[in-house]
């Protein structure tokens, strides 16, 4: 077919559609007409030997001329174009791997090469949200065997960039999400690197939570590192705290996670592939997995935990990673802060040994770091925690933390919000239950994470005895409107902190 | 929460996203900021006591000002707004029915009230493509019981408009798609109405095929009828041929079908609910279902056919419809024409008894019409076809067809394409197989259905003996570019018509 004349000039409309790649063309565009492109057609957009697949939105107004096209922000970035560039457009050849998705819908097991083709096509942008959601749904309900999970993990590693280190042992950690706060990473990285182990940690930004580790660290230093900058930091300090989003490791995972969040499901098989593909791709050899277990956490029973633990170990072995799984308390937030800067302040209070530091966050960080020290043979079995505590309390960890920040671009203090409001107890009682989900939502409505200073300081840990007027939590916001909005929502949910009021 | 100030003025950007409701707001918009709306947030958009749910696309250019918003074309139409209208924006309350979708993902049966809530939310636009695809996928693989299919059908009927007629018997027909041509409806409606039965037929436009019945009829008369106009036509002539899209019957079905087409799956349970919800909603009491069975048709085995037949009868009974299922030949196109005007010409050739009319289309139309005449007690068992043939060949059917067209807005002849090209046999042989799918694609690339005159005339029916140079099919196009494009694709698929070349 003759595609010589299928060229249009790019105009920037600046439309952010998140992950979805959209191409905009005018209804009178000759390419639409000659190619028979209709709305939602999948179009192969090429520029300088690089291609993406975008869904067509047809425009019936003068924001585009008939010889022009535009791309959604993510597609614009992925194709690496600038205004005025000429792109070539053609039909997307049929996506044969969708046959395997249909096979999975019908309950059939998939072969490794079939899973590889699906993941390759997902990374190439050939799957629309409809296709992605169908693949995710068809793979849920324990529909993936251990062999399929291993194939999925391997395919996700191979379809992205991979880091290789010259160190024989490279440590890493991951916390299965679901409870607010829990920002142990910066403390753990500092202790582990101070002890002389290598820990090139990459983290994600928040997608639906009030803060991701990358958001928190960003309130204190630069997290958008290039691959070479990251290597430089690790070579110098033994550890780093980078945002994984710029590194193109396991890109299929980022796409699939977006769909899972929208569906609010996190099927076990895909979770294991997600975590271990990222860890393998960054070159980790030893990984600690922190799994909070509790009635409102992601993992709710010991039985679920044990199955997950077994699968993590099997898949880890298949991709060459030594995995250690730790069961932790998933009943309530870890630390006081919920939101990027507030979580950073929790961390700094621990490093500085301030008087009202969060003991739970400190202890959990020491527990995780201690386990990693044992895993990396820096401490013998049972001695890791003591060593981790010593490194933290001696100030060596803080020194390492500041050195890593310096190497990444310099340390600065997290910002403070202008407006605060205390939500107080209206009765006496003992805190018996915490609604983690709505607590996170209130923090988000206050502006977290897009306003880094916004969020919640949480005071009412389980077992706390409160009296009327005593603050349960404090909302932080940078604008009065956002404070009020968050507060209005909080008032509709009086039982975020549940009290036992019996005498 | 105070939404008094959440108002923006509408500007028309004219972006067609097909079914998806999108709202566009500027990144600096105060509503985005104060509400904490981020890209892909689900926003409740209200105007004059009417609301829709739209996904947010944030705009970073001057196509919108910060106090302005825009809606995708389908959302604009659904909300019934005009440029300059002020809309109110707020957060969508959590969609509780997604809990039931997750339950179905985990393989649990759904209660009637749960299915009803899902369908209600789908019609209200609360499900994104991701949610819809998950529901469709989780319901495939025979995951719907007969009770669930009945609940689904009832919910789809109840969440749209319903027609009620004063006639005791109201006939209808439906052909399960999958083979090109097969445009029996106008002939069947004409015969049945001429015989004195009531048949208020609604049809769809093409979504992925080269023509829908509504597209074909539109080349001869008006098909976009209001509800009252449709009643008027039926009262006067006993039948009509309207496009169902304007009538708001079973709107959930239109939404779900869009997702199924994208996935290229048509799970049995949902297909039955789709067909029977539309038939019940238009007030049909007796429905004939035409199911073509063949190796490349939608239904490929007699076993599949028998199960579908049983389920159609059970669901029909539950919603008060007498259903009769007919197995027909699904091996090849029915009629010569593929494309709106070419199919219309086939129909007119039969009405006019022209010398080269399509005998297969005529016979199938007579078979279907005859069965309906028996079903409506206009003919005794076994005598329907003879009566149907008599009505057709006497000219009574054509007279009725023209009268219906006249009542709908006047009859006119279908258009003719300017460019044609014959694809010819290169060898001698007997036609043994036809690739229905690629035949449809070639017709689409030639411009059908958006150019009504474009498409294919097909000459090489199964068993035809062809010699080199003999035309297998003729491509019709209104532009030279489209003809060439279609032809270039046809050349990549030499076996659209497969020959047995052995002597």
* B78 and B207 part of one domain: no
**CA–CA separation, A406 vs A233, rounded Å?**
9
B residues 385-444 lying closer than 8 A (beta carbon) to A: 444
Domain final position from A91, A117, A140: A91
Q: Which residues of A touch B128 (CB under 8 A)?
A: 129, 262
**Cross-chain Cβ contact B134/A131 below 8 Å:** no
Residue B315 domain-assigned (yes or no): yes
* B452 and B359 part of one domain: no
From B1, B40, B57, residue closest to A488, measured CB to CB: B1
Residue B112 domain-assigned (yes or no): no
Give me the CATH number covering residue B267. 3.40.1030.10
Above 50 in pLDDT, residue B3? Answer: no
**Cross-chain Cβ contact A15/B140 below 8 Å:** no
From A15, A36, A488, residue closest to B447, measured CB to CB: A36
Per-residue model confidence as pLDDT tens digits over B390-445: 999 999 999 999 999 999 999 999 999 999 999 999 999 999 999 888 898 899 88
Residue B1: pLDDT band by 50, 70, 90 thresholds?
Answer: very low
Per-residue model confidence as pLDDT tens digits over A19-62: 889 999 999 888 887 676 778 888 999 999 899 999 999 999 99
**CA–CA separation, A100 vs B339, rounded Å?**
31
Taking residues A391-397, report their average pLDDT: 98
Number of domains making up chain A:
3
Q: What is the mean pLDDT of chain A?
A: 92
Give the residue numbers spanning the domain of B204. Answer: 171-408
A residues 328-347 lying closer than 8 A (beta carbon) to B: none
The alpha carbon of residue B429 is apart from the nearest alpha carbon of chain A, in Å, by: 29
**Cross-chain Cβ contact B479/A34 below 8 Å:** yes
* A184 and A314 part of one domain: yes
Angstrom CA distances, B193 to A403, B230, B373, B391, stand at 87, 14, 10, 10
Chain B contact probe: residue of A57, A91, A108, A442 with most B CBs at under 10 A: A57
Above 80 in pLDDT, residue A455? Answer: yes
The alpha carbon of residue A72 is apart from the nearest alpha carbon of chain B, in Å, by: 9
The alpha carbon of residue A285 is apart from the nearest alpha carbon of chain B, in Å, by: 34
**Cross-chain Cβ contact A136/B131 below 8 Å:** no
Q: Which residues of B touch A2 (CB under 8 A)?
A: 484-485, 488
Per-residue model confidence as pLDDT tens digits over B360-397: 999 999 999 999 999 999 999 999 999 999 999 999 99
**Cross-chain Cβ contact A105/B57 below 8 Å:** no
Q: Is the ipTM of this complex over 0.90?
A: no
Q: Which residues of B touch A101 (CB under 8 A)?
A: 263
**CA–CA separation, B168 vs A368, rounded Å?**
76
Taking residues B285-299, report their average pLDDT: 89
B90 interface with A at CB cutoff 8 Å:
no
CB contact set of B93 (below 8 Å; sequence gap of 6+): none
* B390 and B461 part of one domain: no
Angle between helices A396-408 and A340-351 (to 10 degrees): 140
Above 50 in pLDDT, residue B2? Answer: no
- pLDDT on residue B18: 85
From B59, B105, B450, residue closest to A265, measured CB to CB: B105
Above 50 in pLDDT, residue A258? Answer: yes
Q: Which long-range contacts (CB under 8 A, 24 or more apart) does B78-84 make?
A: B78/B21, B78/B52, B78/B125, B79/B45, B79/B47, B79/B50, B79/B51, B79/B52, B80/B47, B80/B48, B80/B50, B81/B10, B81/B47, B82/B10, B83/B10, B83/B11, B83/B12, B84/B9, B84/B10
Domain final position from A91, A108, A140: A91
- pLDDT on residue A3: 45
**Residues of A recognised as catalytic:** 266
Q: Which of the residues B28, B85, B266, B360 is marked catalytic?
A: B266
Per-residue model confidence as pLDDT tens digits over B86-129: 999 987 877 889 999 999 998 999 999 999 999 999 999 899 99
* B382 and B438 part of one domain: no
A vs B, Cβ pairs < 8 A, gives 167
Rg (CA), chain A: 24
Residue A319 domain-assigned (yes or no): yes
| Annotated catalytic residue B266 | yes
Q: A126 vs B402, which has greater pLDDT?
A: B402
3-state secondary structure of A61: coil
- pLDDT on residue A209: 81
- Report how far Cα A282 is from the mean position of its chain's Cα atoms: 15
* B373 and B471 part of one domain: no
From A13, A34, A136, residue closest to B482, measured CB to CB: A34
DSSP states along B308-343: HHHHHHHHHHHTT-EEEEEEEE-SS-BSSEESHHHH
* A400 and A462 part of one domain: no
Kindly report the pTM of this predicted structure: 0.89
A residues 13-52 lying closer than 8 A (beta carbon) to B: 13-18, 24, 27, 33-36, 38-40
**Cross-chain Cβ contact B27/A17 below 8 Å:** no
**CA–CA separation, A75 vs B487, rounded Å?**
32
Above 70 in pLDDT, residue B194? Answer: yes
DSSP states along A423-442: EE-SS-EEEEEE-HHHHHHH
A381 interface with B at CB cutoff 8 Å:
no
* B239 and B327 part of one domain: yes
B488 interface with A at CB cutoff 8 Å:
yes
Domain final position from B370, B386, B408: B408
Could you tell me if B276 and B321 are in contact, meaning their C-beta atoms sit under 8 angstroms apart? yes
Above 70 in pLDDT, residue A474? Answer: yes
From B40, B137, B488, residue closest to A2, measured CB to CB: B488
Taking residues B204-212, report their average pLDDT: 83
* A84 and A180 part of one domain: no
Give me the CATH number covering residue B85. 2.40.40.20
The alpha carbon of residue B160 is apart from the nearest alpha carbon of chain A, in Å, by: 24
* B228 and B286 part of one domain: yes
Question: Can you read off the two tokens belonging to residue A496?
Answer: 């975020």
* A288 and A186 part of one domain: yes
Q: Which residues of A touch B2 (CB under 8 A)?
A: 484, 488
Residue B503: pLDDT band by 50, 70, 90 thresholds?
Answer: low
* B220 and B357 part of one domain: yes
């Amino acid at each position: 077919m003759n595609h010589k004349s299928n060229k249009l000039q790019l105009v920037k409309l600046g439309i952010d559609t998140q992950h979805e790649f959209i191409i905009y063309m005018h209804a009178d565009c000759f390419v639409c007409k000659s190619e028979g492109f209709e709305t939602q057609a999948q179009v192969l957009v090429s520029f300088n030997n690089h291609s993406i697949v975008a869904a067509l939105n047809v425009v019936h107004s003068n924001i585009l001329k008939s010889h022009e096209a535009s791309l959604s922000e993510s597609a614009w970035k992925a194709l690496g174009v600038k205004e005025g560039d000429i792109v070539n457009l053609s039909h997307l050849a049929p996506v044969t791997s969708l046959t395997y998705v249909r096979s999975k819908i019908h309950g059939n097991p998939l072969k490794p090469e079939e899973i590889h083709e699906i993941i390759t096509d997902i990374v190439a942008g050939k799957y629309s949200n409809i296709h992605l959601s169908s693949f995710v749904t068809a793979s849920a309900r324990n529909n993936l065997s251990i062999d399929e999970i291993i194939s999925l993990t391997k395919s996700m590693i191979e379809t992205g960039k991979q880091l290789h280190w010259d160190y024989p042992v490279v440590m890493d950690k991951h916390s299965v999400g679901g409870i607010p706060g829990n920002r142990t990473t910066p403390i753990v990285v500092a202790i582990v690197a101070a002890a002389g182990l290598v820990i090139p940690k990459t983290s994600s930004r928040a997608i639906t939570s009030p803060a991701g580790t990358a958001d928190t660290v960003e309130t204190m230093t630069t997290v958008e590192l290039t691959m070479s900058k990251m290597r430089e930091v690790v070579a110098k300090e033994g550890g780093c705290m980078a945002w994984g989003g710029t590194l193109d490791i396991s890109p299929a995972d980022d796409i699939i996670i977006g769909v899972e969040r929208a569906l609010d499901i996190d099927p076990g098989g895909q979770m294991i592939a997600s975590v271990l593909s990222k860890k393998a791709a960054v070159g980790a050899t030893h990984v600690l997995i922190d799994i909070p277990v509790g009635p409102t956490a992601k993992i709710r029973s010991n039985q679920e935990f044990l199955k997950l633990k077994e699968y993590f170990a099997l898949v880890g072995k298949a991709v060459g990673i030594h995995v250690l799984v730790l069961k932790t308390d998933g009943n309530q937030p870890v630390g006081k802060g919920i939101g990027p800067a507030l979580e950073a302040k929790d961390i700094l209070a621990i490093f500085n040994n301030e008087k009202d530091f969060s003991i739970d966050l400190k202890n959990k960080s020491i527990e995780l770091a201690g386990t990693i020290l044992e895993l990396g043979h820096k401490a013998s079995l049972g001695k890791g925690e003591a060593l981790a505590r010593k490194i933290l309390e001696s100030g060596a960890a803080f020194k390492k933390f500041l050195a890593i920040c310096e190497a990444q671009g310099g340390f600065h203090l997290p910002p403070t919000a202008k407006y605060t409001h205390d939500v107080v107890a209206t009765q006496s009682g003992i805190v018996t239950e915490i609604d983690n989900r709505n607590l996170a939502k209130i923090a988000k409505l206050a502006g977290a994470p897009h306003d880094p200073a916004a969020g919640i300081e949480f005071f009412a840990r389980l077992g706390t005895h409160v009296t009327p007027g005593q603050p349960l939590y404090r909302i932080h916001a940078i604008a009065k409107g956002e404070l009020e909005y968050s507060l209005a929502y909080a008032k509709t949910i009086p039982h975020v902190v549940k009290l036992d009021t019996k005498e």
